[in-house]
Amino acid sequence: MRRIILFDGVCNFCSSSVQFIIQRDPERKFHFASLQSEVGQDLVQQYNVPKDIDSLILIDNDQIYTKSTAALNIAKQLTGVYRFARIFLIIPKPIRDFLYQIIAKNRYKWFGKKEACMIPKPEDRQRFID
């Protein structure tokens, strides 16, 4: 089973989140592609991702997760206390997504933006599919 995280490759917060996930995913469950890449765009089309989703998408066992549900499904598969984030799935999705959208809408203002997508470390390169 392949788990793919699509992320905004020019967003500092998103790139930092990818590094955070890599450090807490010793079993290498997740693979990554930036939304700006050709592979990322192909996956967006293949899975009919809504046009308004531009920050984080999880493809897990051919199921697509977006917004807060994607973040929480990623967190529950990480090592450490992060896996207990699954408890927040009991919060109604509209409330979770409202909070998620506040961060997503302000991510460039609060965390900055890169001119180009992140370049992974050599030891992590095989986890990026773009």
SS (HEC) of 60-100 = ECCEEEEHHHHHHHHHCCCCHHHHHHHHHHHCCHHHHHHHH
In a domain, 130, yes or no: no
In a domain, 129, yes or no: no
User: What tens digit of pLDDT does each residue of 57-112 get?
Assistant: 999 999 999 999 999 999 999 998 988 888 998 999 999 999 999 999 999 899 88
38: buried, middle or exposed (CB in 10 Å: 19+, 13-18, 0-12)? exposed
- Helices 93-111 and 67-75: crossing angle, nearest 10°? 90
CB 122 within 8 A of CB 22: no
In a domain, 117, yes or no: yes
In a domain, 68, yes or no: yes
In a domain, 7, yes or no: yes
100 conformational bin, left if phi > 0, alpha if psi -120 to 50, beta if neither: alpha
The 8 Å CB, 24+ separation contacts for 92-97 are 93/68, 93/69, 96/67, 96/68, 96/69, 96/72, 97/67, 97/68, 97/69
In a domain, 22, yes or no: yes
Q: pLDDT value at position 53?
A: 82
If one counts the domains in the chain, the total is 1
In a domain, 127, yes or no: no
Q: Is the pTM of this model over 0.75?
A: yes
Q: Which of 26, 28, 57 has its CA nearest to residue 42?
A: 57
Task: Output 122 or 96, whichever has higher pLDDT.
Answer: 96
In a domain, 83, yes or no: yes
Tell me the residue range of the domain where 82 lies: 3-122
